[in-house]
Amino acid sequence: MVFARIRRWLGLGEREGPAVSDEQWARVERRLPFLDFLPAEARPRLRALALEFLATKQFHGAHGLVLDDDMLLGIALQACLPILNIGLRAYAGWVGVVVYPGDFLIPRREYDEAGVLHEYDDEVLGEAWEGGPVLVSWFDGEAQPAGVNVVIHEFAHKLDMENGGVDGLPRLRAGMSRQAWADAFSEAYEAFCEEVDNGGDTEIDPYGSEHPGEFFAVVSEVFFETPSVLMRHFPKVYAQLQQFYGVDPAAGEARLRESAA
C-alpha cells in the first residue's frame, strides 16, 4: 500500500498531479530545523533524493506502528542528508527500513572469552545490518534531544559498511587522504574516550566512546544537527566530514544565527 502511494508521488502510477505538496514538505521539514543549515539550493535535490529513496526501499512498521506519509518523508530526508553529495548508490544492496515506536530490544547471544554463552536483550534506538536492513526508532515530535539523530546515526553506519565492516573509515571521496582521516579521527577519539572516562558531562553523546565506528556515527549526527558543537570540540574531524559529506553546515548555522540577530 505504501508502495502504491510512493508510485503516485513519483507520478508513476495514477494520473495525480504534483505528488508531495509544498505544504506537506514544509510541515515535515519544520520538524528537522537542521536542514536549514544547508544552502537553499540544495533543498530540491534533497527532496528528489528522498522520493527516490522511498521508491527503492521497503518500509515496515514494527510492533504495530502505522507509518504515515509524514513519517516516511521525514525518515527519507534524514537518511538522504548524508548522501546528498555522494548519491543513492552508497545505499545499494539492501532494501529494508524497519521503524519501531521508540526504543526496542534486540536479543543477543555472545560467547565470552571463557566460552560461556551469554543471552540478553539489548535496548537500542537503532541498528544497521551489513547487507541487510536498517532499524530505527521513531520519536514523535520533539522527543529526540538536539544533537542526537537515530536516522543519521544508522545511515552513517551504512556508509561505513560500504567498504566492509564498521571501523569508522568509510569509502572516502576522491582527493581525500586516508592518513588525514585516520589522524584526525584517532586523535579525537582518544581525547573523547579520556573525557568520557573522566566522568564529566560530555556535550557529545558518550556512546561515541564505545568504538571508532560508533564515534564516526555519533560525530556525523553532531555534524548535521549541531555543527558548531563539533567544530568547537574537534575541528579536524569537522573538516574531514565537511570534505566527506560535501557540505558545510556550521557555516549555514552561523549564517542563520546572524540573520536572526
Q: Which residues bind Zn ion (CB under 5 A)?
A: 214, 217
Shortest Cβ distance from residue 128 to Zn ion (Å)? 7
Shortest Cβ distance from residue 209 to Zn ion (Å)? 12
Count Cβ atoms below 10 Å from residue 127 Cβ, excluding itself: 20
User: Which CB sits closer to Zn ion, 205 or 248?
Assistant: 205
Shortest Cβ distance from residue 144 to Zn ion (Å)? 15
Shortest Cβ distance from residue 213 to Zn ion (Å)? 7
Torsion of CA 50, 23, 137, 173, to 10 degrees: 30
Q: Which parts of the chain are beta strand (E)?
A: 58-61, 96-101, 104-111, 117-124, 126-128, 134-138
User: Which CB sits closer to Zn ion, 160 or 248?
Assistant: 160
User: Which CB sits closer to Zn ion, 10 or 90?
Assistant: 90
Shortest Cβ distance from residue 234 to Zn ion (Å)? 18
Residue nearest to Zn ion (CB): 217
Between vectors from CA 76 to CA 71 and to CA 78, what angle results, nearest 5°? 100
Instruction: Report the Cα 238 to chain-centroid distance in Å.
Output: 16
By three-state DSSP, how is residue 134 classified? Answer: strand
User: Which CB sits closer to Zn ion, 217 or 250?
Assistant: 217
User: Which CB sits closer to Zn ion, 25 or 129?
Assistant: 129
Those residues with Cβ within 8 angstroms of residue 191's Cβ, 6 or more apart along the chain or in another chain: 234
